[in-house]
Amino acid sequence: MYALSRRQMLAGLAAAGVVPAASSTAQETGNLNVARHNVSAFRQHRWQDHFDNLKNGAILSDTNSRMLQFWSEDESIFKIFPTSVPLTDELTRRGYTSVVRKVKGPSWRPTPSMLKRNPEWPSYVAPGPDNPLGTHALYLSWTYYRIHGTHDTRKIGRRSSNGCIGLYNENIQELFALTKIGTQVKLI
């Protein structure tokens, strides 16, 4: 039995005229609501399905949907943000952790495994526009794992990180203000 990839299936359907070709624009198809990039299976979660309580607030990062949800401790605030996620499942850590440190204007040091894969990378990047952590970072109890901003907005909605969860700088700034040390975090 021959299995088709998603790309092959869409190409075949486009050739048959069932769906618009990937190179078609919304104007060409006559449908201005056509989503052409970063489409994922978004699923809104209930905090009760993942956390026993909302003490200190809760963050749920869904790596399949490439989105992050935040609930405040008193449930008065609920936010959803698009994210970048790790490049591969091997780089993706899943489970429960918490925010242990918050840094505005973080510096960045690649992990030993990153330097092994990319020996040309610098060993240190100061805060600023060249820093891959963006403007704010939430350090998790897992070594080397962060929820942080990015200056490279092309990464959001994609598998593009070496393990961290990335947000637009304006979104991490908002999340940074809402979270506190001890905020619960779950990555699924």
HSE (CB half, 13 Å, CA atoms) of 138? 26
CA distance 104 to 148: 10
* Six token digits for residue 39: 């489409």
Give catalytic status of residue 151 as yes or no: no
Q: Alpha-carbon dihedral of residues 89, 90, 92, 96, nearest 10 degrees?
A: 110
- Give kind and range of the element (H or E) at residue 95: strand 95-104
CA distance 157 to 67: 8
CA distance 171 to 188: 20
Give catalytic status of residue 164 as yes or no: yes
* Six token digits for residue 89: 């499942």
Question: Considering 37, 45, 136, 164, which one is annotated as catalytic?
Answer: 164
- Give kind and range of the element (H or E) at residue 187: strand 184-187
Looking up tokens 């048959």 gives: 16
* Six token digits for residue 48: 């009760």
Question: Considering 37, 45, 50, 148, which one is annotated as catalytic?
Answer: 148
Q: Are 84 and 172 in contact (CB under 8 A)?
A: no
Active-site residue numbers? 148, 164
